A and B are shown apart, each in its own frame.
Chain A
Amino acid sequence: MAGGQKLYPRATVKKIVKAHSKRNVTKNVDVLIFLDYALFLQTYAHLPARSRVFHIGLSDLQTPVLIDQYRLMKEASINAKQAGERGISAKSVKKVTEPSLLKFKG
């Protein structure tokens, strides 16, 4: 997804986590944390291909049946489609934020 350039500022992630947890962070944990974040942001792009097709087919009907995973952008895009919006509106993102966060509550 990210081209040749650096995907994200590692130090920033580390700082954020450190500030919130008030704990030090082991060396490469931030990568995994960012991975988790990526999953959080993810759409259904990374679901297995057949289920993706299934999703797309269903999206025409605007009835997302296979929502087994709340992923922010995925949900948001589904939401946006249902609302008939062209892009993804902030509203749809906000709508999905809470359930997504809940889903990612450890």
Chain B
Amino acid sequence: MFAYLVRRLLLMLVTLFGISVVIFFLLRIVPGNIVDILFAAAGYVDPADKVDLEKQLGIDQPLVVQYLHWIGGLLHGDLGYSYVSEKPALQEILPRIPITARLAGLALLFSASIGIPLGVISAVKQGSRIDYALRVVSLSGLSLPSFWLGLLVLTASVAMFGQMPIFNANPRSFGEAFATYCIPAMVVGFRSSALTMRITRSSMLEVLRQDYIRTARAKGASDAAVNYHHALKNAILPVITVIGIEAAFLIGGLIVTETVFNIPGVARFLVEAIRWRDYPIVQNLVMFIAVVVVFANFTVDMLYAVFDPRIRYTD
């Protein structure tokens, strides 16, 4: 087990290294840099000033040197300075993380706590009206883009209450905190809850046909015990996989949702930074997201062993 973990961690480091190379060079392929953008906006170009500024920011150096400079700094905990705000990148990124983390956590919680029980119900009542209704709702969940759903929610809230939830970093009441975080989280999580529901349903249908379910009934176990204790325990693995993958995809949904709901989280910040070619922010932020995704995958693999005793990671 220990050797497995060590190997796994080394593999994660290799993955992260690969990601860092990809991010770095992809970002440089995008035409234009911060200096081009600034000078284009100013409408006046003195080539000498431009060269000067490029030199100042270090983007005149060969790419390899720039890359080594970034990685070297990263390993020392020096993330560089934002081109736009000229503040340390760390200071720009850190305060935004909890906001997005809360949103993402709530969205996942929402998708699991809605998707799993509804998936079980849908499987147990296969072919019934409630099954069809849930499947239609989940299909709409999969097909509704979250930005559009977000706009619908905002419009509806204006139409019904005459106001819309506006982000407030220090909510005064529970209601405000709810509006600040839960509504956007539900909008983002709706899609993953639909996906979770469908996977739970198909996985449960598979498991409910197994012999040990009949054994459980033959013991005299109640429907609830059969469905949730005996069946769901076996059906949960694919669901965990999907939730793990969704955790990674969530960031895409959050970018638009944070924009729609005007939430100052990392996802929206990332888009702005890309627009400005703010290399230090983009590189470090994407690197951070990559670390989160890699760890989410690792957690999912470890959870397999927790839920299924037949899975043991050996050397």
Instruction: Report whether chain A binds chain B.
Output: no
